[in-house]
Structures are given as C-alpha cells and as structure tokens.
Amino acid sequence: MSKVNWPLWEVFVRGKAGLSHKHVGSVHAADAEMAIANARDLYTRRSEGVSLWVVPASAIVASDPADKDSLFEPADDKVYRHPTFYDIPDEVGHM
Amino acid sequence: MSQTVADPAGAPVSLEQRFQDWIDAERKIEPRDWMPDAYRRTLIRQISQHAHSEIIGMQPEGNWITRAPSLRRKVALIAKVQDEAGHGLYLYSAAETLGASRDDMVADLLTGKAKYSSIFNYATPTWADIGAIGWLVDGAAICNQVPLCRTSYGPYARAMVRVCKEESFHQRQGYEIMMVLAQGTPEQKQMAQDALNRWWFPSLLMFGPPDDQSPNSAQSMKWKIKRHSNDELRQRFVDMTVPQAEFLGLTIPDPDLKWNDERGHYDFGDLPWEEFYAVLKGHGPCNRQRMAFRNKTFSDGAWVREAAAAYAGKQKARQAAAVQAA
C-alpha cells in the first residue's frame, strides 16, 4: 500500500474579529494552499471562524516539559506582581 | 522502569506514582508530558479505533444520500456524513499527538488489523434505518462520548468536545425522521418499528462487554481515560431512550423491559452476546462489504493524492528556482 506522507500542519482559527487565533488541531496536506482548504473543511463547518493560520508542525519550537518548573515556578512566589498584594482602604473606592 | 523524581518534600517518588497523583488530582496530560507506555498504547488504540469507527460509519448512511426522500433530508444527511469524516479526522489528529503515524493508522484500518465499532457492520435497507441510526446509534455514542470530554488526555478531551457538539444535531435529525414516520401512514409507522426492532440490541451492544468481562476497564478507569463503566453507560442509555420510544408510540423489542421502582432504573433482558462476538470476529452482516468499500475508495483516490504531491513538489521547485534567480 502506498504511503501518503503528507506533512502535518497545525491549525489556528480566529473565532471573530477582536479575538486572537487559537489552536484547534491539525491536518495533513501536500502544500500550504491545500492545508488551508483542508483546515477550512475540517474546522470551520459551523461558522467557527473568520480567519485561519496553518503552520508546518515541524516549524513549531516548544519548551521542554522537563523545564516546566525552572521556567514557570519562579512566577509563583511573586505575589507583589498582582494588584491584590497591595492594601488600599475601601474609602478610596475602586482602583 | 523505576525511575524516580523528588516530591515537593524531597522524598523520592516514581514517575508512575507522580503521573497517577497528577491524574487523581483531576489534572490533564498533554502530549509531551511523561506518561507510562501502557497509557500511551491504550490511548492510541482507543482513539484510532474511535477514528476508524467514524470513517467506516459514513457507509451505512452514505448508502441513503442519493435516495433521501426530500431535499431537506438530503442536505442534512450529507452534512451528517461529512461530520463523521470530520470526527474521524479530529481523532486521528489527537492520536498523532501521541506519536502514532497517520499512514500507519490508515494502513491498519485497510488491512483489517485495527478494529472499528461493530455497529457499522449492520445494513441499512430502509429509510427508517437512517432515523434509527441517528436516534439510537448516535444517542448511544453521545452517552459514551460526553464523559470522554473530561478524559485525562487533553487532545482527546478537546476533540470530543467538538464531536459532542456536532452529535447533538445528528441525534435530533434522526429522531425527527422517526417522528415523521411514526406519525405517518400505518406502513410508515411499521417501517419505523421494524428499524427499532433491528437496531435496539445492536445499539445496547455498542457499550461493550458487561463490566465483569471487560478486562481493560479497571486500568482505564484508574487513568481516568474512562469515567463510567460499560454497564453504567448502557443503563443510562436505556433510561434515556425508553421515554423517547414511548413518545413515538413505538415498542422496544424486549419483553423483559420494565421500570424498576426500587432501583430507579429500567430493567432489561439478556443481551445477544454471541452476536456481539460474532460481528467482532468479522461475521456480521456487512463486515466484508465495509472493508471492501473502504479499500476501493482508498485505491480510487490514489491518483488524486499522487497528483497533489506532484503539484506541491513542482510548486516548491519553482519557488526555490525563483529565489535563486532573484
């Protein structure tokens, strides 16, 4: 049986103007144009979007899950970066 | 296999234990997270089988597209069959995040190495079967799939959210077909009853073997891939469907079916398990036909795939030449 071996493309859909593109899944396609056509047929059959991005899956660089702690844990103890860390009397009103 | 890491207090804990703790805390597993090999294998098998079922599932209904009784029914049926293809593709895409290759999965389906849901090996001789499939088969699928929206593997759960949204249309269009037939001429009502008679038990078999004969269930439940047992989901489906049949004025073909006040559920008779295992082994009414058709479709499409690949190659070469010339 002949293999197809079309590259994998990650698909991102903008739900409506004003929202950013969001990852929804992937498609296989021989080229970029076909990837857009396939993504349109697969991920926007019910008005889910107004714009599509397709990106060769091989082009995505991701952080290593093993680095999760060293990359993201330092943010956990920096409560002073959040507005609720600061005491403002109620009389001042909404701030 | 006893690789360890440190827990928050610094004590050694195995990767397996940390994985299980993570799942017990109702957190999701994402593609590049560490996972036991068996978890990965179980998911690849389940998700790809699920995908194959959607792909083969296009056939029994596709059978009626050219003969749908009205344009309204025809556009709905085309959209539904297209959705089944879409569901298959969402699921293949989810399985690929676990390292499965699309080509291998397709090959496993075509050679018969991989299984798909036995329900699609039943025939659709009348238009009422299209109603019965939407109402019962998609209804049963919804019972199975709604809990999968919370399955522990993120990409599978996300694919199921999309699938479930679309299945709701499928079930309603099926029930509407049944309703029109059940309220039609005596012959039409009889056609609807006949379809219910043929699809009822196969739909109950869709939930899989009874809990005490379902060897992989316990591990899948522990990993929160599965959220409810086969028997629990089957009971839920029966409880949900009996009143719907009553509304249609149709009779469920099970003399032992009756409400049990004490349990708060419907009791139902023994299921035809010999039939379940026979169809699973390839001896259902349409197993050979489904496989032959899938293989023919794949071969017939070969020239399209080859042309697309040739075109893409040519475009790429032209672009490269243009870059060099500039």
pLDDT, tens digit (0-9, with 9 covering 90-100), for B212-228: 998 888 999 999 999 99
Cβ neighbours of B302 in A, within 8 Å: 2
* A contact set with B (CB within 8 A): 1-6, 8, 25-28, 30-31, 34, 41-42, 45-46, 62, 64-65
- For every residue of A50-90, DSSP letters joined together read SEEEEEEGGG-----GGGHHHHHGGGTT-GGGSGGGS---G
CA distance linking residue B218 with residue B46, whole number of Å: 15
Query: What digits encode the pLDDT tens for the residues A37-49?
Result: 999 999 999 999 9
Confidence of residue A2 (pLDDT cuts 50, 70, 90): low
Which residues of B fall within a CB distance of 8 Å from A31?
Answer: 308, 311-312, 315-316
pLDDT in tens, B62-91: 999 999 999 999 999 999 999 999 999 999
Residue of B nearest to A33 (CA): B312
User: Mean pLDDT over residues A81-89, rounded?
Assistant: 94
Using alpha carbons only, what angle is made at residue B57 by residues B280 and A48, rounded to the nearest 5 degrees?
A: 140
* Burial state string for B232-261 with b = 16 or more CB within 10 A and e = fewer than 16: ebbbbbbeebbebbeebebebebeebeeee
In this predicted model, what pLDDT tens digit does every residue of B158-197 receive, in sequence order? 999 999 999 989 999 999 999 999 999 999 999 999 999 9
d(CA B117, CA B55): 10
The answer, yes or no, to whether ipTM is higher than 0.90 is: no
Question: Quick one: DSSP state of residue B268?
Answer: -
- Mapping DSSP to helix (H, G, I), strand (E, B) and coil, where does residue A8 land? strand
Q: Is the pLDDT of residue A4 over 80?
A: no
Q: What is the pLDDT of residue B169?
A: 92
Of A8, A26, A65, the CB nearest to B32: A65
| Mutation to test the A interface, candidates B305, B316, B319, most A Cβ within 10 Å | B305
Residue B2 has pLDDT above 60, yes or no: no
Residue in B27, B30, B32, B318 to test binding to A, most A beta-carbons within 10 Å: B32
Please indicate whether, in this complex, the C-beta atoms of B33 and A65 are within 8 angstroms of each other. Answer: yes
Q: What percent of chain B has pLDDT over 90?
A: 93
List the single residue in B with minimal CA-CA distance to A2. B302
Cβ A12 vs Cβ A22: under 8 Å: yes
Per residue in B113-152, pLDDT (tens digit) is 999 999 999 999 999 999 999 999 999 999 999 999 999 9
**Measured between alpha carbons, how far is B181 from B77 in angstroms, rounded to an integer?**
16
Model confidence band, residue B295 (pLDDT cutoffs 50, 70, 90): very high
- pLDDT value at position B26? 96
Which pLDDT does position B11 carry in this prediction? 79
Give B12-58 pLDDT, tens digit per residue.
889 999 999 999 999 999 999 999 999 999 999 999 999 999 999 99
Three-state SS at B12: strand
Q: Cα torsion for B221, B146, B41, B3, to the nearest 10°?
A: -50
CA-closest candidate to residue A54, choices A1, A8, A2: A8
**CB A38, CB A29: distance < 8 Å:** yes
Provide the pLDDT for residue A68: 87
Residue-level pLDDT at A65: 86
Tens of pLDDT along A46-66? Answer: 999 999 999 999 999 999 888
**Shortest CB distance from A3 goes to which of B34, B90, B103?**
B103
| Domains, chain A, with CATH or none | 8-92 (3.10.20.520)
Q: Is the pLDDT of residue B1 over 50?
A: no
pLDDT in tens, B97-115: 999 999 999 999 999 999 9
A92 secondary structure, DSSP code: G
